[in-house]
Chains A and B, each alone.
Chain A
Amino acid sequence: MSETTAQDGPMLAADGTPLKVSLQRALRRQKLRAVFLIAPLLAFIVITFVMPIADMLYRSVENSIVPDTLPRTVAALEDWDATSGEMPPEEVFAAMHADLVIAEEKKIHTRVGSRLNYETPGISSLFRKTGRRADRMDEGNYREQFLDIDKDWGDVEVWATIKRYSGTVTAGYFLNAVDAELTAEGVQMKDEDERIYLYLLWRTMLLSTLITLACAVLGYPIAFLLANLPLRTSNLLMILVLLPFWTSLLVRTSSWIVLLQQQGVLNDTLVSLGIVGDQDRLELMYNQTGTIIAMTHILLPFMILPLYSVMKTISPSYVRAAKSLGATDWTAFWKIYFPNSLPGIGAGAVLVFILAIGYYITPELVGGTSGIFISNRIAYHISSSLHWGLAAALGVILLSVILIFYYVYDKIVGIDNVKLG
């Protein structure tokens, strides 16, 4: 014991190492163990989830198809001035011929055609038509031969489009996603009647806000009742909130279809009660009304649960104190209880809003054309129109909006404090 009690030396652990070193070693081991436990899942999520998202982010700017398929043309076009209004020189046509012969052999000339068609309609057929005949062209004077096949090759705009989209990355998809386009004069908004995406984004936000408001209005009384009833009763009533929460989204959507159809339960009931005539049944579905009603029902538990957990912590003595000081029921509620429940409204509202703007299934099934969201357009571009770059750009915009609100949510609630049921 005599050597460890020496006051001037460093404090030593039982095995003789300095205490500081020993503690650091223990801390390092603890950190290592934590990392070791987390690493498998982290690797799993990065591979199965983060990399796919990153891949999609890259697709929204990726443009390798034009420079890859038409490398000689891209190089030859470098010296040509698109704003001059003059046709490109003969070398450019020769380069295009060389590129097309190779592309036709590999059967990829239609892909570059459809890529450019997104920017200037009509190019797709131009490439398809010319590609087929490229290898039968004679040597020399390619410009004449191209013009013989289709006089559109004499259109300066076609060449300007190829030149504009000859880089390996492009902002074209993003511009498209906000209804703008890159023209010879720079970035411009599209014509009034061609603008769809900004309006769709706006409608998505507007409908999500309406749904959030409806959830708050319907959820507040329920959460209040549940938080203030004796535990036994409130647990019982809680099941009425949790059952829809646990029921499949598709089941709930189909029940709303059953209820809201023109020949559905709700309309039948109203007709048999004589409230509406058989001829003028209400159109409750395949429009915005359908989306709002069904999504409010689906997202309502996500409003009630956080609200309830906040209201549960508000001490009833606050309201009693206010009343004992002469406040009426309403004043005690409005001045004392309501401000205390605001964090719950905030948490629930942001959660419902985040979930709502990303919805796809319900709007697809009950939204018709006027009740669809931006997600539906993304799905359309991936599976039907195959305009993947635009889908990716729309996805990135939607994701950014959600991340902003997620950041807000994390600030007010903290993601660790999410409670499920």
Chain B
Amino acid sequence: MSGLPPYASPLQITWYYGFRVICALIFFFLIMPIMVILPLSFNASDFFTFTPEMLRLDPDGYSLKHYEDFFTNSDWQQALYNSVRIAPVATLLSTSLGTLAAIGLSQRHVPFRGAIMAILISPMIVPLIISAAGMYFFYSRIGLQGTYWGVVLSHAALGTPFVIITVTATLVGFDQSLVRASASLGANPVTTFFKVQMPLIIPGVISGALFAFITSFDEVVVVLFVGSAGEKTLPWQMFTGLREQISPTILAVASVLITISIILLTVLELLRRRSERLRGMSPG
């Protein structure tokens, strides 16, 4: 795939460009649905499609009214407030517990490692509707259903597998002799953890935390069952907005969320590069 050789036959040339056209079409399929939202969110009318004014690039065809609705409507603001109140706490819980467990799992002698791993990963494998149903029944019994903490705990449980997976992946590249070296120089385990191990695995921990955050921030199925109207989150409001009356404010919300995911993606990419640089410098 490294360019065409000068002796390529016409068939090879056709295939070379044909393949690139196919790939471009698939990339278009991947990106276009997301990109089409952004201009439409500035639509001056309440339609989900481009108006003739928009296509003529007439300023009258564009407006910020959907954004205005999002930032002034109390339903949307309450939902945003709830999302911002729930996701960080769930992230903190799953990241701290998940990081500790990943460090424990990366040690050489762990009894029942496979079984423990299967249990810890299970929230990622079990379909959301089944998790939601189980939590709905069980949390009702113990009085957590319809409460703030019920939603936080359920979201934290859904986020931990991502923390485990990303931190475990970072620990594979971690040189255990550094821990021994630190201990031989007189550091206690806690100092070793914060001064030696943590700075090296922090990219994995942060990307795990981002996964956990986005899991909670985007989650709708479980919150529909475990939450009550008081814990209505942004995705919940979007879901009801899409199902009942298709309100064009959703386009503005979606554009805001797309911007957030672009920021997240950039942070992750920077972290990946940083850890690659660090890997490259460490011996072995």
Contacts and interface: CB of A to CB of B under 8 A. Distances in A.
Interface string A105-122: 000000000000000000
A375 B129 contact: yes
Contacts of B109: 27, 30-31, 34
A237 B23 CA distance: 11
Contacts of A11: none
Given A38-B104, A221-B22, A55 B137 contact: yes
Contacts of A301: 30
Contacts of A31: 109-111
A361 B219 CA distance: 10
Given A30-B108, A38-B110, A358-B130, A229 B139 contact: no
Contact of A358 (B127, B141, B243): B127
Nearest to B155: A48
Contacts, number: 269
Given A48-B157, A52-B134, A399-B126, A264 B34 contact: no
Contacts of B125: 354, 402-403, 406
A35 B104 contact: yes
B107 A30 contact: yes
Nearest to A382: B133
Interface residues of A, number: 91
Interface in A5-60: 27, 30-31, 33-38, 40-42, 44-46, 48-56, 59
Contacts of A51: 138
B261 A48 contact: no
A56 B130 contact: yes
Given A50-B122, A250-B220, A259-B36, A230 B2 contact: yes
A56 to B, nearest CB: 4
Interface string B154-179: 10110010100110110000000000
A383 B225 contact: yes
A304 to B, nearest CB: 9
Given A246-B261, A264-B49, A361-B221, A38 B101 contact: yes
A419 interface: yes
Contact of B235 (A248, A257, A402): A248
A325 interface: no
B107 A53 contact: no
B214 interface: yes
A365 B242 contact: yes
Contacts of A1: none
Contacts of A403: 125
Nearest to A43: B97
A268 interface: yes
Interface string B101-140: 1011101111100001111111101111111111111110
A144 B69 CA distance: 66
B239 A250 contact: yes
20 contacts: A33-B104, A33-B107, A34-B110, A35-B110, A37-B107, A38-B105, A40-B101, A44-B93, A44-B97, A45-B122, A49-B134, A54-B134, A221-B26, A243-B261, A252-B34, A354-B125, A359-B127, A365-B239, A365-B243, A382-B225
